[in-house]
Structure 1
């Protein structure tokens, strides 16, 4: 999780540094190119070429359309909002995932889930409207991104039953690469030397964040991973204050804390229930 936290923070800094100079679509295209090269080399190096194949291409396609939209909203938000607010609003993804799972996967809506949703949306209200201000369009972009991420997570859960994580990553990059190229072809510019560094950093940290969280999930309980992931908020808030002079908003931390508590209420199971 330390690797994941570092990856997310570096990715956000890279996105902020490129905002206004490189279009979001070009950033997403470059990220896909770098990711595709790295994942392909890993698969070839391990001689597991069967991972290039899938029997569920349509599900990969749907997952990556949602994921691409989520990434677009997240990167737009990074360029327009305080970094801590973007990360806090991104924490609504588990709430939307819970709702979508109940509606479309027919998962039961238990009391724990209701409590999680209530706490989560109270937290969102505190983050978006602490003093009665009008909600900014940029904040709505990030909330929309969280909804699209949740749809992507539901599809990923279905894919995990049949496809290896490397297969999921390969098709993520392979599908999103032409989308980014098509959507951003008219706004592409040739990056300068430092911009190449930021683009490469974004591409590598996107993969390392996924890799680290996946392995953290395998080696610890979800509740531990969720709690540690929350450390992204104070870390990125410190980055925003130090590097960009952003104001610190205590209500943002309070709102995000309520979302964290709600998420923990939903994922933590009694010790007896964890026994095999």
Structure 2
């Protein structure tokens, strides 16, 4: 009966391989990375305490924050009741320190009289980041929303007027005031504000499944909340509003409350064609 044990072992191994193949992952397994997954429709997935939306076609996404740990996992349950835990190994990154001087003191340490406004604006932004729309525009891929010199990168520790502050979560693209800002992927506008205290003219664009782009320091906001914008269509123009020392676009990407490195979604600036 030895052959029977070998046969059963082979069948078990093949079954495990098939189960693994039912969920495929592609993307950047690094802090700030985004991963696009494909699984069986009807599968449920848990990641980092959140139930992940799975589309009717089995598409889903997960993202990693700037400081996420090296070991994470997906908890996957398939429609037939079988389950697996998929371990994920996340690459740890080193981040730059960026010093910015010459900012107005009230933009670094705002006066007490402005704190109510700042908190209200921050709460409004946080609410938009909870949106979990069932659209999958992120599958289109991304283009650069503007072209120019990269003047700030994701994850860098900001030191403003000599004071250590929160890390920078966007990618800064230095460009002349009035340069068009384009939608990097299709989406619905969830925030369109001409003058937030820190970020000035600000747009948030929802790409589906909790993934959203933010465009900060705009001179002009040319879209409205609820508007659908196709990939490559105009959103507004580059400016230097809010806490800024010169004309540039601060492009940010969030997967819910996890900050994604936008530069990982596009080719290098010199190789881009948009």
TM category (shorter chain) comes to under 0.3
User: Which structure ranks higher in relative contact order (CA pairs < 8 Å, sequence separation ≥ 6)?
Assistant: 1
Rg larger in structure: 2
Greater helix content? 1
* TM-score normalised according to structure 1 size: 0.22
